Amino acid sequence: MTLEELRKQIDEIDDGILELFLKRMACAKQVAEVKRQKGLPIFNETRELKILDDVCRKAGEYGGQARILYANLMAMSREAQHSALGSGTELRQAVLKASRFPNKPRSVACLGEKGSYSHEALSRLYPEAEPVFFPDFPSIFAAVENGRADLGVLPVENSSAGSVNEVYDLILKYRFSIVSAISLSVRHCLASRETELHEIQTVYSHPQALRQCAGYLKKRGVSSAECSSTAGAAKLAAGKRKTAALCSEHAAAQYGLNILDRNVQDSDGNRTRFIAIGQNLLIPPQANKISLCFAVPHRTGTLYTVLARFAASGLNLTKIESRPIPGRNFEYDFYLDFSGSVADPKTLDLLCALSEELTRFSFLGNYSELE
Ligand SMILES: O=C(O)C(=O)C[C@]1(C(=O)O)C=C[C@@H](O)C=C1
């Protein structure tokens, strides 16, 4: 057979598959109605596992491929059923009740001292708020929980050093709402009370900043020491001979230090993303980014079929992070960011379906990110 003839056959087969796919989806919607009348749950694991085992056996050498194909078919079918029944009432109501107005927090918690990068992010996001400084990330979450601060600003990711795992673990522990975000260009300088570079023996900074400048520090042959923030490092270096801090120029000025070297980070386009968290859900009208988290059972293809549903809805994932679930060996929570808005009914339907199907699911927010 020629290529053209074979392609003609494939086209005919595809038409047949598509017709059957649409028939299957229509049938699934009817099942949803029966389930509603009988008060049955949409997900029927026994039935799904039986279908998967059957197709796997019948498909012979393509058993694994058939399993994945049908796992996806049934995920789509469940989603159509959830959408037909308007599932996820709790999430739908939370989204409906969420405030639409940008909040004007009185006080916002952040890491470190005046002049820290977190402080800069906070001032850009909430110029009118009073900053409240804390020495570590858990204290910021605690301050939001006990009302000492209306919101908390936290670094979540750096373009060269990667995710701030401790913050992700706290996000997953507290499950507060993410209400806004900002991506800041981060340029570190080497600042000291000394005036000559060769006098420096020890460099202080936050572990993330030390990581972002690891190549520079190695080249200079100086030792490094961790402290709780870049601005804290500047304060420390102001009191000790032969030391310097990796910090912002702003922090260097704050503590009266000389700038011995500029732009010392290893990557030129070094950026850090910050989020603001709060107790209440706030969804501004321009919100275009969604964050959520969930866990999946340890079975082949479970994460894959969840991610396929985002692809099927045309949603672009911008971040995925997995973190160990405390107290459960080698089980993970997944944290996801994607571009989208809950004002889009199809996106809200997907989230509502997932909220019903996945364990440890939380919708964390729909917000926009300043540049
Ligand atoms: O058989 C059912 O109960 C259905 O709802 C249909 C179906 C499927 O698409 O095959 C969908 C969801 C269930 O989890 C199991 C199977």
Task: Tell me the per-residue pLDDT of 237-258, one tens digit each, with 9 for 90 and over.
Answer: 999 999 999 999 989 999 999 9
Strand segments, DSSP code E, in 248-358 are 258-261, 271-278, 289-295, 317-324, 332-339
Distance CA 2, CA 174 (A): 62
Q: Which domain holds residue 24?
A: 12-85
pLDDT for the residue 115: 87
Question: Is 230 an annotated catalytic residue?
Answer: no
**Mean pLDDT across 107-115:** 92
| Domain count within the chain | 2
Boundary of a domain, candidates 208, 239, 261: 261
**Does pLDDT of 99 surpass 90?**
no
Q: What length is written for the chain?
A: 371
pLDDT for the residue 300: 85
For residue 26, the CA-to-ligand 1 centroid distance in Å is 12
Q: Which long-range contacts (CB under 8 A, 24 or more apart) does 311-315 make?
A: 312/76, 313/346, 313/347, 313/350, 315/339, 315/340, 315/347, 315/350
Q: What is the pLDDT of residues 42-72, one digit of tens each?
A: 999 999 999 999 999 999 999 999 999 999 9
Please report, for the domain that includes residue 254, its CATH number: 3.40.190.10
Site to probe by mutation for ligand 1, drawn from 35, 54, 74, 356 as the one with most ligand atoms within 8 Å of Cβ, is 74
For residue 78, the CA-to-ligand 1 centroid distance in Å is 7
**Does pLDDT of 101 surpass 80?**
no
Distance CA 277, CA 46 (A): 40
Helical pair 3-38 and 63-85, crossing angle rounded to 10 deg: 40
Q: Could you give the residue ranges of the DSSP H alpha helices within the chain?
A: 3-38, 45-58, 63-85, 89-97, 117-125, 137-145, 165-174, 207-212, 214-220, 230-238, 249-254, 302-312, 345-357
pLDDT for the residue 113: 86
**Does pLDDT of 208 surpass 90?**
no
Does residue 105 lie in a domain region? no
Percent of the chain's residues with pLDDT above 90: 91
Does residue 65 lie in a domain region? yes
pLDDT for the residue 161: 82
Does residue 285 lie in a domain region? no
Determine the residue type at 253.
A
Site to probe by mutation for ligand 1, drawn from 21, 42, 305 as the one with most ligand atoms within 8 Å of Cβ, is 42
For residue 31, the CA-to-ligand 1 centroid distance in Å is 8
Q: What is the pLDDT of residues 306-344, one digit of tens each?
A: 999 999 999 999 999 999 999 999 999 999 999 999 999
Of the two residues 161 and 24, the one the predictor is more confident about is 24
For residue 321, the CA-to-ligand 1 centroid distance in Å is 30
Does residue 207 lie in a domain region? yes
Boundary of a domain, candidates 244, 261, 278: 261
Q: Are 341 and 315 within 8 A, CB to CB?
A: no
**Mean pLDDT across 162-181:** 97
Does residue 247 lie in a domain region? yes
Q: How confident is the model at residue 229 (pLDDT cuts 50, 70, 90)?
A: confident
Does residue 16 lie in a domain region? yes
Please pick, among 230, 272, 305, 347, the residue that the annotation labels catalytic: 272
- 3-state SS, residue 305: helix
What tokens appear for 177 in the block?
């709402």
Give which of 292, 288, 280, 321 is closest to 144, Cα–Cα: 280
Q: What is the pLDDT of residues 265-278, one digit of tens each?
A: 998 888 999 999 99
Measured from the CB, is residue 72 less than 6 Å from ligand 1?
A: no
Measured from the CB, is residue 82 less than 6 Å from ligand 1?
A: no
Measured from the CB, is residue 48 less than 6 Å from ligand 1?
A: yes
The values of phi and psi at residue 190, to 5°, are: -100, 115
**Does pLDDT of 12 surpass 80?**
yes
Percent of the chain's residues with pLDDT above 70: 100
pLDDT for the residue 256: 96
Does residue 18 lie in a domain region? yes
For residue 223, the CA-to-ligand 1 centroid distance in Å is 61
In the predicted model, what is the mean pLDDT of the chain?
95
**Mean pLDDT across 178-194:** 96
**Mean pLDDT across 134-139:** 95
Does residue 156 lie in a domain region? no
Mean pLDDT lowest for which of 97-106, 107-116, 150-159, 207-216?
Answer: 97-106
Q: Are 364 and 177 within 8 A, CB to CB?
A: yes
User: Given the CA of residue 32, which atom of ligand 1 is nearest to it?
Assistant: 5
Boundary of a domain, candidates 26, 61, 85: 85
User: Given the CA of residue 77, which atom of ligand 1 is nearest to it?
Assistant: 9
What tokens appear for 135 in the block?
């020495």
Please report, for the domain that includes residue 78, its CATH number: 1.20.59.10
